[in-house]
Structures are given as C-alpha cells and as structure tokens.
Amino acid sequence: MNSSIEPPEKKEVKKSEALWLMSFSDMSLVLLCFFVLMISTMKPHKEKFKHIKEGLIAEKKIKKTDSIKSVSKKLKKIIKNKKLEKAASITHDSNGLHIEFKDGLLFQPGSAAIKLVNQKTIQQVLKAIAKINSDYQIHVEGHTDDSVMQGSIKYPSNWELSASRGFSIMRELVSIGIKENRVSVTAFAHTRPKVPYKGLKGKKLKLARSANRRVVVWLE
C-alpha cells in the first residue's frame, strides 16, 4: 500500500499586509532617529533651572523660619505664664532659637554647681524646652567674663569653668528626659562677649562682665 505525505500548505502573505508592516517599521525608525537627534541637540535652560532651584530654597527657608517663630512664640508663652522672664531670655533667627540663662541666677561666682534656690526655676524652663518638637538638636554654650581665674584647682581657667557650666545644664536636660544624642556642649570661655570690654571702666565694665557670663541653649 503506497502512502504519500503531502507538504504543508504555504501561508501566503498578502502583498498589502507586507507593505503596511514595512511602512510602520520605517516610520518607527524615523521617529526614533528624530527623537534621538532632538534630545542630543537640546540645551538645558540654565536660567529656568536656576529659578526653580532658588524657589525651592526660598520655600524651604520660609517654612524653617515659620517653624522657628512658632516654637519661639510657644516657649515665650510658657515662660511668661510661669513668670520666668528673669531666668531666661529668648531670641531667634534663621539659624534657630536660643534661650539665654542669666549667670547670676544659675551659679555662684567661680562655680559650676546650679544654685539650689533657683534649681526648680531652671528646671521649669528646661521642661518647657523639652516640650518642643524632638526634631531639634540642642547645643549648650558656656560663656564667662574676662576675669582671670585665681586660686581654683578645679577650674584653672575660664575654659574649664565655661565647659563645666555647660555640662551642668546638659545634665539637667538629660535628667528631664531629653535623649543624650540630641545634646552637645561647647565652651567659649571669655572669647565671645556679648558686650565688648574696650574702653569700659567701673560700673559699665562690671555690667558688661555680668552680661557676658551666661549659658546659652540653642535649638537648631
């Protein structure tokens, strides 16, 4: 019995269909080349990018300033309600907010131990700071006047004294629950006076030294 295998039928591609595919392929290639050339010859508009960048920076600065103002207002209100104006003064700028503690209310001359009589008052101010947003870093600065330290083994110079006073405030902050990784201390001794000493004598010099003895807490 003879058997034969018939070859499979060839599927014919219509001429019109083949032409459509070729046209589409050619068009796609042309479009691709066009976009590649267009992108390669484009020049970034530097001025537009510059304006966009400046706008974003300005917006960020405005938000930061508004936040600082809000924190300052809140803290001033707490201090005023508790009648703590004599213990601390508050100012703010674009870098942050700072609370300045009067030296006379904090320490005895030549000492870094907080006066027991005022410790409760100081803690009230620090607790007000602790209520502020935890995103802020806290920097404590110790400052002294230009008087030369004499007869002190514990504090041979103003550097040691200003550092120890800064650490005293830092320990108070930590004791009321502020995390240690949020706090730092810097000692400036007599090198950054609020009131310059040049030309001052008598009572004016005494007042200047009193103003320059301080501990400043920065919220940044």
Residue 150's pLDDT is what? 81
Task: Note the pLDDT tens digit of each residue in 8-51.
Answer: 555 555 555 566 666 767 777 888 887 777 776 666 665 655 65
Residue ranges for the chain with pLDDT beneath 70:
1-22, 24, 40-67, 94, 133
Contact in structure between 194 and 213 (CB atoms under 8 Å): no
**Nearest-10 Cα torsion for 149, 119, 191, 202:** -70
**pTM for the complete prediction?**
0.66
Output the pLDDT for position 119. 82
d(CA 175, CA 111): 20
How do residues 166-181 score in pLDDT, each as one tens digit? 999 999 999 988 999 9
Exposure class string for 104-135: b at 16+ Cβ within 10 A, else e: ebbbeeebbebeeebeebbbbbbbbbeebeee
Cα 100 to Cα 89: distance, rounded to the nearest angstrom: 5
**Cα(27)–Cα(156) distance, integer angstroms:** 86
What is the DSSP secondary structure assignment for residue 63, as one 8-state letter?
A: H
